[in-house]
Structure 1
Amino acid sequence: MNTRFRFLAALLLAAAACTAGAATKTIQLPPDGAQLTPSPLPGYAKAQVNCVACHSAEYMLYQPPTAPRGYWEAMVKRMKAVFKAPVPDEDMPAIVDYLVKTYGNEKGR
């Protein structure tokens, strides 16, 4: 056996031994302080599934109310690219539309 293979095998065995004895941990999150603002826009349901699965709806309230569509587009793209949010590409425009019309500078349009 070559040295690299033995090292890799030992590393895998050590990792397996560590995870075998590890206990499952649970986390109790505090209740959300805010809910997404209901809307008939299709992005509302998509935001409920994709956005608040990872963070509170309160996050939207911290964004500038004058934020334009480009800001919200960048924010949704950032969530997907940087934080690996599992948002389907085809849902992104509807989510952006909901966010900008509910929390951004197109509110009420």
Structure 2
Amino acid sequence: MSQSIAQYKDAHTVIYGSTSRDRLVTEEQAGHAAAWEATRKLKESGQPTDAQSLPHTLQALARQQADRLLVDLGLDHLDDVEVKRHAAAAAARIAPEFATA
């Protein structure tokens, strides 16, 4: 697992795995966590994804997961546009490793 991928997983653990929500979460951390959660859900679904459309699919799922994260965890103090931007960027970086996993 590359260094950047590890930081996405770490952000996911902090945000999704914590029983108390840290209000000091940044847009970047929330986006990284959303991208990792989208990746995890796509992997669990077992749905086939071709390598060409994978980055776009994963980015769309990450943006959707970012919306869910903001609402479900009450992180409405974060800039939703920035969270989605970070989620999409992280998903784009995860996609090549996801395709080879």
Output the TM-score relative to the length of structure 2. Answer: 0.41
User: Is the radius of gyration larger for structure 1 or structure 2?
Assistant: 1
The one of the two structures with greater contact order (alpha-carbon pairs below 8 A, sep at least 6) is: 2
Q: Which has the higher helix share?
A: 2
